[in-house]
Amino acid sequence: MALEDLRNEMETCRRCSACKFIPLEKVDNYEHVNVCPSIARYDFHTYSAGGRMVFAVAKLEDRIDYSDKLLEVVYNCQMCGACDVSCKYAMDMEVMEPLYEFRIRCVEDGQTLPALDKVINSLRKQGTMVPGAKAKRGAWAEGLDIKDVTKEKVKVLYHVGCRTSYDKDLWKVAKATVSLLSKAGVDVGIAGAEEVCCGGRAYQMGYKDDFLKQAEQNLETFRKSGAEILVTSCAEGYQAFKVLYDKYGMQPDIEVLHITEYLDRLITEGRLKPKKKVNMRVTYHDPCYLGRLGEPYIHWEGREIPGHIRVFDPPKEFRRGTYGVYEPPRDVLKSIPGLKLTEMDRIKEYAWCCGAGGGVCDSNPDYAMWTARERISEAESTGAEAMVTACPWCEKTFDDAIRESGSSLKLYDVVELLDKAV
């Protein structure tokens, strides 16, 4: 939907500032009331979803034009979707859609940031969203006994994702995943060097055409694999396959699961039995793209019925983060003997972002680090000795922030802890 078509959504903003805070029913202390990293960091209303609605309308009306400042504001946003949830607690209007469409318009008009162009050039030339990566895609699996889906049929296709593939520090997660799936007797394979980027991050950055190209390639890989289930341990990959592809009418003919969903299923079916104690007090960080933005896409076509209340024909169900993936990772953690899960103030649909999303880790690493440090501080306040997450982008960003800040907080992926217990 073009930005022009979202004008009424943007103009419905009442400037109540709900987009800046966690849903107000859930506030139970002074701290951790902010939900949007961008307004929390930069303070001007401009950086909130409400401010973004206003200047987007102004841009449509040519009251403002492209400028360095405009691009700085547009791209200093992780596209984490927290504003969308908090707004829609009370309102019936789209918030994330205009944010996506504004970026897409920027790219169409050639208004981008060099740092993001570099990432996209990396995608176009090297096939990865990790520019300058030294490793080769699929190298993480060298020496592992795992099927190659380009050569043989499997039931489960494991998509590893750019971040894990090209970051040797994260290979342990991919290896633990394969280890667990093998222990459960799952017929699993990977595309190895033939795996391609999901395109989700490109979409977040506004490069819609690049996203669509990646989607087409992936659909072909999925089709050829003959697999029944697609599993990924990357939250952004999950959201791309499950939500974005569907949004553009490219829903894969394969069941898409995040690894935590699949492991939870395997545990429930008794195919994985966590028995070894992992004596640790942990807190869980909900990745934005697995949680609130991971809820299924809801297709709707129709019209707004003219009148004094916004209702639609046929009725429109707004996505509000209600059906994101929140419980499976928690259920997996709760299945681990000896492990104690303690929750942070901002969780599930109103979780604070890790800082990496929307290309911010490339366009403004300092801001990404600031956002991550905020979360680390919140995790520390729970008394947990470790923070657990379920996305390599989160893990990478937190790892950098922990190193930088000298925090003693340990960091794990859910998969790693389960692997210790099985």
Partner 1 sequence: MALNRDFYKAVEDVLGPEYISDDPVVTESYSFPIRAATAGPKGEYLPRFEAITLPKNTREVQAIVKLCNKYKVQFKASSTGWLYSDPAGPDCIKIDLRRMNSILEINEKNMYAVVEPYVIYAQLQAELMKRGLNCNVTGAGSNCSALPLAAHVNLGHLSQTGSYGERNQLALEWVTGDGEIVRMGSLGSSDEWFCGDGPGPSLRGIIRGNTVPLGGLGVFTAAAQKVYHWPGPPTFSIEGVCPHYSPSELPPGFMIRYLSFKTVDAMIEAVRKIGESEIGFELMGFNAAMMASNVATDNEEDLRYFKQFSDQVQGPGFMVNIAATSQRDFKYKKRVLEMIMEQTDALSLKDVEDPKLGAGFLWRFIRTVGSIRETSRATGWGGGTVGGTDVFPLMTRYIMYTVDLKQELIDKGMILDDAIYPFVQSIEHGHTGHGEILIRYAPTNAEQMDNIQGFLNRAANKRAIEGRFGVPQHVWSDELHDMYGPEACNYHMLLRKIKKTFDPNGASESSNYITAKDV
Only one of the segments 37-45, 126-134, 169-177, 244-252 lies at the binding site for partner 1 (rule: CB under 8 A); that segment is: 37-45
**What's the min distance (Å) between Cβ of 85 and partner 1?**
5
Measured CA to CA, the distance from residue 256 to residue 240 in angstroms comes to 10
CB 136 within 8 Å of CB 379: no
State yes or no: cis peptide before 337, omega within 30 of 0: no
Give the count of beta carbons closer than 10 Å to the beta carbon of residue 223.
Answer: 12
The yes or no reply on residue 61 touching partner 1 (CB under 8 A) is yes
Question: CA–CA distance from 186 to each of 179, 180, 189, 274 (Å)?
Answer: 10, 9, 9, 16
Beta strands, E only, 272-369:
280-284, 303-304, 312-313, 339-341
Give the strand pairing for 303-304 and 312-313.
antiparallel
For partner 1, give the closer residue by CB, 271 or 316: 316
What is the C-alpha separation between 113 and 64, in angstroms, rounded? Answer: 19
What is the torsional sign of CA 103, 107, 108, 109? Answer: positive
Contacting residue, 1, 5, 24, 273, with partner 1 by CB under 8 A: 24
Are 280 and 338 a contacting pair, CB within 8 Å? yes
Minimum CB separation of residue 363 from partner 1 in Å reads 17
Nearer to partner 1, 53 or 422 (CB): 53
Smallest separation (angstroms) from partner 1 to the CB of 353: 16
Residue in 3, 36, 38, 46 binding partner 1, rule: CB under 8 A: 46
With contacts defined by CB under 8 A, name the span among 27-35, 99-107, 221-229, 364-372 that binds partner 1: 27-35
Candidates 13-21, 102-110, 175-183, 381-389: pick the segment binding partner 1 (CB under 8 A): 13-21
Q: Which residue has the tokens 């969203």?
A: 129
Residue 236 Cβ vs partner 1, minimum distance, rounded to whole Å: 21
Q: Does 91 bind partner 1 (CB under 8 A)?
A: yes
Nearest residue (CB) to partner 1, 59 versus 208: 59
Residues numbered 248 to 277 that lie near partner 1 (CB under 8 A) are none
Binding mask of the shown chain, residues 71 to 90, with x at each position contacting partner 1 by CB under 8 A: --x-----------xx-xxx
> Shortest distance, CB of residue 63 to partner 1, whole angstroms?
7
Closest to partner 1 by CB, 40 vs 411, is 40
User: Long-range contacts made by residues 65-72, C-beta under 8 angstroms, separation at least 24?
Assistant: 66/106, 66/109, 66/111, 70/111, 71/106, 71/111, 71/112, 71/113
Residue 9 vs residues 24, 26, 41, 53, 348: alpha-carbon distances, Å: 22, 26, 26, 9, 25
Q: Does 44 engage in binding with partner 1 (CB under 8 A)?
A: yes
Residue 40 Cβ, how far from partner 1 at the closest point, in Å?
A: 10
| Residue 31 CB, nearest approach to partner 1 (Å) | 9
Residue of 29, 143, 249, 408 that binds partner 1 (CB under 8 A): 29
Question: Which tokens go with 343?
Answer: 């929750």
DSSP letter string over 268-289?
HTTSS---S---EEEEE---TT
Contacting residue, 92, 187, 385, 399, with partner 1 by CB under 8 A: 92
CB of 231 to partner 1, least distance (A): 24
Which residues make beta-bridge pairs with 147?
189
- Binders of partner 1 among residues 300 to 359 (CB under 8 A) are 306-311, 315, 317-318, 320-324, 326, 348-350
Q: In whole angstroms, how large is the CA radius of gyration of the chain?
A: 21
Of 140, 412, 380, give the one whose Cα is nearest residue 260: 412
284: phi then psi, degrees, rounded to nearest 5:
-110, 130
Between 8 and 279, name the residue whose CB sits nearer to partner 1. 8
Phi and psi dihedrals of 361, rounded to 5? -65, -25
Which has the closest alpha carbon to 355: 391, 386, 398?
398
Which lies closer to partner 1 via its Cβ, residue 11 or residue 228?
11
Binding-site size for partner 1 (CB under 8 A) equals 64
Which region among 29-37, 159-167, 264-272, 406-414 touches partner 1 (by CB under 8 A)?
29-37
Q: Which is nearer to partner 1, 22 or 162 (CB)?
A: 22
Q: Can you give the binding site for partner 1, defined by CB under 8 A? A: 10-18, 21, 23-30, 33, 43-46, 50-55, 57-58, 61, 63-64, 67, 69-70, 73, 85-86, 88-93, 306-311, 315, 317-318, 320-324, 326, 348-350
